[in-house]
Homo-oligomer: A and B are copies of this chain.
């Protein structure tokens, strides 16, 4: 696994976009999205819709799996942040995830 960005997903999109010197309008068009909404996404005021990940990967020629991981870690990171979940509680959450995993294999 390559190293992932320690930024928000919105900031990451902005980074990609400005690197390629695209305007919001230009990228938004490629993503079939309103430029005003893309602006909100980059500024963390809205979420990027998961269904557009393949398009985004294609536009910037990024590995989709890698990009999806970027997205996933952002989403969970946001959840952790918004709920003020401490490292200690996160450890418990991970154990509960593990419990769910075990449970699901049992019931197959």
- A interface residue numbers (CB < 8 A to B): 1, 4, 6-8, 69, 72-81, 83, 85, 87-90, 92-97, 99-101
For this chain, the copies found in one complex come to 2
**Could you tell me the distance in whole angstroms from the C-beta of A11 to the nearest C-beta in chain B?**
9
In the bound complex, residues from chain B placing their C-beta under 8 Å from that of A101 are 81
- Partner among B1, B4, B69, B97 whose Cβ is within 8 Å of the Cβ of A78: B97
**Could you tell me the distance in whole angstroms from the C-beta of A108 to the nearest C-beta in chain B?**
15
| Extra pairs beyond A4-B92, A8-B96, A79-B79 (11, CB < 8 Å) | A73-B89, A75-B79, A76-B83, A76-B90, A77-B92, A77-B97, A77-B100, A80-B97, A85-B97, A90-B90, A90-B94
